[in-house]
């Protein structure tokens, strides 16, 4: 009996060894092993969009291209990942457009508060000529824009007080992205903007380095920011598009058939992620309602929009008054 079991064990080990070898061999056969990074958790819509992209690319390339995904800032913060894409050490990045303004200043357009009236308005801008125009400077920086996923509507949280009007938001230290329009908006509210990398935000809130922050519901809930914040105000002050970048250096080394696979798969993954993000947002709000955070669901948005007006005056020359008007015309 013992001899029989020993034979079974040997056979099992042989089978497992063969499976492992096949997997390794399959990976080795990929002509392109590409790394995709983002800052969010494995339960975030970014990750699900990235997984859909991976599935489509690997299937359509017949295994010639393999996508390895690195969530949760494993490849660095947003700027780190974009710089990695420039030199080809990182091949794809999904993230907020705010860090991209360091490489293509026209993206400051998308960081203006209350720019879009609805998702549909945002999509008309992002998927049309304006979306292409603001991304036109990226290729000279070694970056290729594959399109825009969704990060979502950004809202305000803090630990000090409930906020219903823009006046209530004064006197706080608020973490912001490293983006001039975001910084100016927080200053217009009468608060102090403090740029902090997203990966360090939870600790900064927990240790009270800052009083609050602004982010979409997915970031707030999935990164457990609601556990270290007392108040959430649904300001929806910015629709944050998530740019899907690729290293142009890497793209240019690929044959045309695989370039087509990348672009087609990115387009489909973007639509998939957008629909998923809308569904997730509704669920996340319900989950936040069940948590200990106090939610102001009907703030005085008119007061916030009035506060945002000086931000437009500050940036209309550098962004272009005509470009801002083009966005307005697409409502």
The residues near 292 (Cβ < 8 Å, ≥ 6 apart) are 226
Model confidence pLDDT, tens digit, residues 268-287: 999 999 999 999 999 999 99
Instruction: For residue range 210-247, list pLDDT tens digits in order.
Output: 999 999 999 999 999 999 999 999 999 999 999 999 99
Residue 6's pLDDT band, with cuts at 50, 70 and 90, is: very low
Query: Does the structure show a pLDDT above 70 at 200?
Result: yes
d(CA 301, CA 307): 10
Residue 30: alpha-carbon gap to chain centroid? 28
Mean pLDDT of 25-50: 89
**pLDDT, greater one: 178 or 253:** 253
Whole-number Cα distances in Å, 205 to 5, 151, 162, 230, 299: 57, 21, 17, 11, 23
Longest dimension (CA), the chain: 86
Residue 118 in tokens: 């609805």
The reported pLDDT for the residue numbered 15 is 32
Domains and CATH numbers, the chain: 29-329 (3.40.190.170)
CB 148 within 8 A of CB 107: no
């Amino acid at each position: 009996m013992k001899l029989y079991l020993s034979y079974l064990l040997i056979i099992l080990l042989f089978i497992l060894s063969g499976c492992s070898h096949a997997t390794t061999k399959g990976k080795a056969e990929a002509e392109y092993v590409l790394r995709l990074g983002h800052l969010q958790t494995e339960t975030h819509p970014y990750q699900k969009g990235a997984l859909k992209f991976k599935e489509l690319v690997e299937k359509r390339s017949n295994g010639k291209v393999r996508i390895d995904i690195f969530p949760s800032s494993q490849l660095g913060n947003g700027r780190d990942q974009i710089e990695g894409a420039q030199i080809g050490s990182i091949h794809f990045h999904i993230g907020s457009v705010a860090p991209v303004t360091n490489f293509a200043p026209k993206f400051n357009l998308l960081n203006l508060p209350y720019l879009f009236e609805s998702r549909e308005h945002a999509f008309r801008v992002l998927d049309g000529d304006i979306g292409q125009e603001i991304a036109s400077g990226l290729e000279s920086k070694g970056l290729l824009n594959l399109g825009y996923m969704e990060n979502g509507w950004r809202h305000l949280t803090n630990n000090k007080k409930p906020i219903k009007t823009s006046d209530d938001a004064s006197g706080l230290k608020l973490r912001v992205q490293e983006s001039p329009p975001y910084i100016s908006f927080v200053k217009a509210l009468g608060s102090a903007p403090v740029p902090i990398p997203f990966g360090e935000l939870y600790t900064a809130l927990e240790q009270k380095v800052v009083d609050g922050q602004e982010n979409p519901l997915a970031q707030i809930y999935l990164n457990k920011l609601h556990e270290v914040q007392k108040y959430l105000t649904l300001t929806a002050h910015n629709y944050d598009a998530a740019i899907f970048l690729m290293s142009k250096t890497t793209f240019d080394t690929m044959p045309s058939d695989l370039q087509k696979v990348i672009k087609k798969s990115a387009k489909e993954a973007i639509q998939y992620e957008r629909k998923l993000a809308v569904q997730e947002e509704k669920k996340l709000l319900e989950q936040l309602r069940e948590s200990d955070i106090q939610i102001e669901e009907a703030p005085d948005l008119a007061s916030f929009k009035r506060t945002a007006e000086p931000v437009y005056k500050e940036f209309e020359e550098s962004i272009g008054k005509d470009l801002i008007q083009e966005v307005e015309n697409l409502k």
